[in-house]
Amino acid sequence: MNPNSNLPAAAIFDMDGVLVNSNPFHLQKWIDLFNAHHIPFDREALPRRVLGPRNDTTFRRFFGPRLTAADRWRLSEELEASFRRAFRPHAKPLPGLEALLMECQRAGVAMAVASSAMSKNVEFIVDALGFRPYFRCLVTGDEVTHPKPDPEIYVKAARKLGLEPAACVAFEDSFVGVEAARRAGMKCVAIASTFPLEELRAQTQADLVVNGFEELNLQALRQLFSANRTELQNSPQGHQGTKERKR
């Protein structure tokens, strides 16, 4: 990180609910699947249970041991192929996102995607938006052993960029996503595109919660890291390392 600017060295973006408003389509695919297999579910609680976790986690949660690994793979492929067909005509970035990407690019802030989605979906979305040139790397659910809220995907994204996680800011929309980014040691901005802003503020450790990207720019990100630098300078341990966060 440039000590003179206090900018993050990298901005790392989740995909569903962050790059695009795709979660209504993901929610519907799960509703259709559960209805087809006569799997009971609570419609009100469903978004929090299926939006954010990786598919294999959701399969195990709702189907239990009745599905083999091969069954889970087959169903996942069918689900996501159906999602891509349904979502293709609606693929557009969240308002204000591209302006922030362009600002980061001009300032030399590295950018990456870290999404629990399968590689086919991530590449489909990034290419449908025409955003491939912005991102130095794409890290997907296919590349990690432990899904969010485990920090593995964010640690791996930082490593691919050649950076320490503490020098990065992550953008998330889900509870498990925010937890993953914070556990990795990153700053995290929560976007209230999927869950209410008040819930994200009350129930996560996001450093900043906003309604959308229209509220963000480099100055807002700079303030996140400036505040952290001030805390370190004022702390008795400021010259020994980052203060340990409450878990």
The pLDDT tens digits for 28-68 are 999 999 998 899 999 999 998 998 888 888 999 999 888 89
Residue 149 has pLDDT above 90, yes or no: yes
Residue 235 has pLDDT above 50, yes or no: no
* Predicted local confidence at residue 226, as pLDDT: 85
Q: What is the mean pLDDT of the chain?
A: 89
Residues near 205 by Cβ (< 8 Å), separated by ≥ 6? 178, 179, 182, 188, 245
pLDDT digits (tens, 9 = 90+) for 153-174: 999 999 999 999 999 999 999 9
% of the chain surpassing 90 pLDDT: 75
Residue type, 117: A
Q: How many residues does this entry show for the chain?
A: 247
* Predicted local confidence at residue 52, as pLDDT: 82
Q: Residue 20: which pLDDT band, with cuts at 50, 70 and 90? A: very high
Where is 139: in which H helix or E strand?
Answer: strand 137-139
Residue 126 has pLDDT above 60, yes or no: yes
Whole-prediction pTM value?
0.82
Q: Residue 82: which pLDDT band, with cuts at 50, 70 and 90? A: confident
3-state secondary structure of 25: helix
pLDDT digits (tens, 9 = 90+) for 177-227: 999 999 999 999 999 999 999 999 999 999 999 999 999 999 999 999 986
Domains of the chain, CATH where assigned: 10-21+93-234 (3.40.50.1000), 23-89 (1.10.150)
